[in-house]
């Protein structure tokens, strides 16, 4: 069985993730430059936005442009892959629903707390989309009888769940109590989630790369 659409789509999704990583690094470096400039000039953190124009502004701009390009490529990839495997289509639906809800909230509530809640939903959207993409890759791997890609996808799926659980536990504990001892526990959980999150992300890239190679012959 050939999956020509999925082959092209997964390739684009992989490219989009690489662009996302590059944009993340550029924006991160831009932020460091901005903060460093503010500190060296003896300015307050609240005045950092002014410095971003002359110091980290270019890096921010390039980073966000690359991020936008990556997002467009990702959407195109999901549309293509969705023609062969429905879970990619579900991932696209999740993105569309989030953007519609965010738009409605922004228009209806302006600068209220509801707008902040909509913006903070981006990490959850990313989690849902990635989990759906992983399941799509697992399904393709099973259809292609590629146990290596399927097992890697299952492992990453479990990592995503583990990180999500750690983050939820840390959040709940931090809300329930503010004691110093609990703060240390929350910090440990947050660090563990961060480390696992980094490992998870690079494994996710590796899985997409393997899936791309698995489907390479179908793209011809």
**Does residue 160 belong to any structural domain of this protein?**
no
**Does residue 126 belong to any structural domain of this protein?**
no
Spell out the per-residue pLDDT of the chain, length 220, in tens. 789 999 999 999 999 999 988 988 888 787 676 666 655 655 554 455 554 555 567 888 888 899 999 999 999 999 999 999 999 999 999 988 888 877 777 676 655 555 555 555 667 788 889 999 999 999 999 999 999 999 999 999 888 888 888 878 877 877 777 666 777 777 787 788 778 888 888 999 999 999 999 998 866 6
Q: Look at the pTM and tell me if it is higher than 0.85.
A: no
Count structural domains, the chain.
1
* Cβ-based neighbours of 33, under 8 Å, separated by 6 or more: 55, 56, 59
Token pair in block for residue 23: 């944009």
**Does residue 156 belong to any structural domain of this protein?**
no
**Does residue 31 belong to any structural domain of this protein?**
yes
Domain that includes residue 50, residue range: 1-81
What is the Cα–Cα distance from 26 to 78, expressed in whole angstroms? 25
Smallest CA-to-CA distance from 133 within 23, 22, 211 is with 211
**Does residue 125 belong to any structural domain of this protein?**
no
What is the Cα–Cα distance from 162 to 180, expressed in whole angstroms? 25
Residues in the chain, how many?
220
**Does residue 191 belong to any structural domain of this protein?**
no
């Amino acid at each position: 069985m050939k999956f020509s659409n999925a082959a092209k789509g997964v390739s684009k999704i992989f490219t989009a993730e690489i662009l996302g990583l590059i944009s993340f690094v550029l924006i991160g470096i831009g932020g460091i430059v901005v903060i460093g400039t503010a500190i060296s000039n003896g300015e307050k953190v609240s005045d950092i936005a002014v410095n971003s124009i002359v110091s980290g502004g270019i890096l921010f701009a390039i980073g966000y442009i690359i991020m936008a390009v990556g997002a467009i490529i990702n959407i195109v990839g999901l549309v293509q892959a969705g023609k062969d495997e429905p879970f990619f289509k579900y991932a696209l639906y999740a993105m569309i629903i989030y953007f519609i809800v965010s738009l409605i909230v922004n228009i209806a509530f302006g600068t209220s707390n509801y707008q902040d809640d909509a913006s903070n939903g981006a990490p959850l959207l990313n989690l849902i989309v990635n989990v759906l993409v992983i399941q799509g890759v697992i399904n393709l791997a099973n259809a292609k009888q590629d146990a290596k890609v399927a097992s890697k996808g299952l492992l990453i799926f479990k990592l995503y769940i583990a990180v999500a659980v750690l983050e939820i536990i840390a959040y709940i504990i931090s809300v329930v109590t503010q004691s110093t001892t609990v703060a240390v526990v929350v910090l440990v959980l947050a660090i563990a989630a961060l480390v696992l999150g980094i490992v998870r992300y690079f494994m996710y890239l590796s899985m997409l790369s393997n899936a791309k190679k698995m489907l390479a012959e179908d793209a011809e």
